[in-house]
Structure 1
């Protein structure tokens, strides 16, 4: 196996203490306002969200470096639940403690959740939104954002041939088999290859050395997660009630899905359509609208809760089931953080994480093609717009907010011309 290159050593010796803020050194309001803006502008799904987060918190604000960010991404790829939202929660926790974690989740989730609840309550009037040309422009923006993330993370996390080859292998796996199991297989491949073959030098300062989560809190969160996962089905079975069935179905959807995003849809369909909560036609209409929304796709649960015919419905139902589907991911993140930090100090784990990071780059590369590229680039005009946006992000150093606005305007203009 080749020894680490000088570029590798340069990246690993990047200063962490002087350029990034440590946990608890920011305000809850600061975290809320930044994530609220991201909640309004982060189009493109979970892969694109990782690009937005990297641009905002690694490149622009330097709250954490590429290693700290990639470690959080690697951890959340291992955990069930909405990976991008879990990364956001961890960043909020790092910056402003437990209140920051809650503020990050609320701010990032609320814009799309409220929009989807409103769409559910006025479905007949707003069904055209998902087919508009401006929304298509936003999908093109996601291509540029994800491409920028792959470009930046690839240079930092795949500095040698071994890790570059591992990233390519992960990309091929996820493109050929676009499933959650394939993503997990790619991550597992990175872990095995990294632990067995890679030799990553130690870093002077661990990237995530202080997130403020104690082992006691981790064990408590894990116990609560398991208790709810086992107790809610028992409650639904014994009570035979619609309320218990609703909560159980949505909690399981959030607890048993790796990677989040589109993978959650079959479980949500089982929890809502099969139980008679919503019709199949309404389910598909809401799914189309969710594609056009910023923020996490898990907010689709708010649409289903608002439209449900069960005891939880309307605004209250949408917000309640939104909390239910995100709860297991938050509990698992809290449970894993203190033990993840302890394990990653070991040389073998450090090598394994380096392999996982390379695989994550490959997964991002695969997702850049499918579904991001395939759903957005439908012709030469789309490709030209995506190329322009990528250049503005990478070389012009434009803020993603302005790129998203330009993309919406460009999509509308191209749609009008065509």
Structure 2
């Protein structure tokens, strides 16, 4: 019995967008599906995926919300205006040949003086002037970009800003550059998915932030040697304040006050609920305001973060080199996987070839035993032995008399 395929679902971002467009909270949507609000939060962040009947109910509800959104957009689209009727040209309406009443009417408009050198075709000039002009040729359709050209355009557009934002997260220039390049290499490896994403820049930004804030970065030798801080004392103090924040609070602050995302988008990118993202943002702002009271205003904080990121000169690599680096990493992983598979197959074949087909009990090692005479084969009897045997046969050995009970 074959299992029926699972009901398709939109991406987690699309699920959140459909719910927010329908003005539904996570609690209201959870009640309609029959689950807990935390389950809906996990579905929209992508941490878990619904299954079974809950998946069918969730997919049906999302489909209904999408149809309602499409219906609202169709009703809000203005209808095209009807084409205007073509009015007759003035020279055609008042031209000669309109009947005898034309002579009794007002004086006709004097015609334009002919050119100094009249041409034989001058009589047909009014008709030629009233005729419509030539139809413009349709513009050729733009040539679609190749995947490499689209990737290069995305890299050149977003890489400089991502470098500055990642520097605010890590405080290290080389680590920020490596994180952005690694994120774009991953995007090139999964380019069909990234190209169809609603926000490709957000996809790359989330990947770069995850790599930059990975806890494994502290075990690298580069992490043991600090980089020179910014030259400006104010920038140095602000950067140290940011680095003292917890990674989640620091990321939320950079996304909201640095990049300029709204709260739902910040919560979705950090895989948290909207209240949790708001709480992290408030805690981060309080920590920054405690050390730098002049940055208590969010607008001033946003301006200072932009200035701090802009003061650092971070050079990005060229797009072709990033693509080649991603392709080299992909080839290395492919070859490593092939080598591991071949080694595993060889080990399995050797094990099958040399393994015993039945159980063989182990042979215990030999051990010398003392005090036991060696075992010899029986031989012929000696004269003494023959004489003794004959004596035993001829003379009966009487023992004590046996007592038997008697009746008295």
TM-score, normalised on structure 1?
A: 0.19
Greater per-residue helix proportion? 1
Which has the bigger relative contact order, CA under 8 A and spacing at least 6? 1
TM-score, normalised on structure 2?
A: 0.20
